[in-house]
Amino acid sequence: MHDLDGKVAIITGASRGIGAATAVALANAGASVVLAARTLEQTEANAARIRKDGGNAIAVTCDISNFSAMEGAVAKCIETYGKLDIFVGNAGVIDPIGPLATSNPTSWTQAVQINLIGAYNGLRAVLPIMQAQQSGTVINISSGAAHSPMEGWSHYCAAKAATAMLLNNAQLEHANDHIRFLGFRPGTVATYMQSAIKASGINPVSQMDPSDHYKPEWPAQAIAWMCTPDADEFLGQELYMGDEELQRRAGLI
């Protein structure tokens, strides 16, 4: 069990999938968690389960593409728990999947607004707090799509590539603020996103068998480990779920 006793974390996209599993993993490790997502009903149900199991958790409505909403989620975290130690930027969308030449400009832009501007909003909301307290951990959920083009995913690939560079900029600008920055590529995970990819029938990822995907609890456990000093040698890097060394260090194998 990774020790995060006394830490406070915000996880975006915590209504389901990796975000929901990460909230559980961090709570099980001793952290107080703020589950942030657009849909409050499911997010509150997730927080209630954590509390039922003896953990500390609250749910907040947060559309990360809106800076005021992200800022409000951070303010609620500080109001409730008095500090912020960990930020996991997990929220993202894969829809709409389809060819660039026939893409809908409005939908394409909305996806980038969530995947890229949402990542900026998260960083912009938490960095001043972590800078002032001279401590904190920021984990950005990246993707192989940040580094390799995928048919039908132009909005996702472009936004994830930009988000990876955004984290690099944060690392550069806050090198002396004792903030831990890590990127994480969880690989393909059995979530709603994979269901949408499967249904599209576009590119090789859609042809994968469901049994080929990681369960959400695997990347969640890896993220919990990344929040501990045991991962300090990897600060500033983007780690990959498929790396057996990471799996071993996270206690998964």
Cα distance between residue 222 and residue 142, in whole Å: 14
Shortest CA distance to 62 belongs to which of 107, 118, 105, 16?
A: 118
Q: Say if residues 192 and 16 touch (Cβ distance below 8 Å).
A: yes
156 belongs to the catalytic site: yes
In this structure, the strands spanning 86-89 and 8-12 are parallel
Neighbours of 247 (CB within 10 A): 16
Active-site residue identified among 81, 120, 156, 214:
156
Distance CA 181, CA 137 (A): 6
Beta carbons of 17 and 216 less than 8 angstroms apart: yes
Residues 6+ away with beta carbon under 8 Å from 195: none
Name the burial class of residue 193, with classes exposed (0-12), middle (13-18) and buried (19+) by CB atoms within 10 angstroms of its CB. Answer: buried
CA distance 88 to 187: 16
- Known catalytic residues? 156
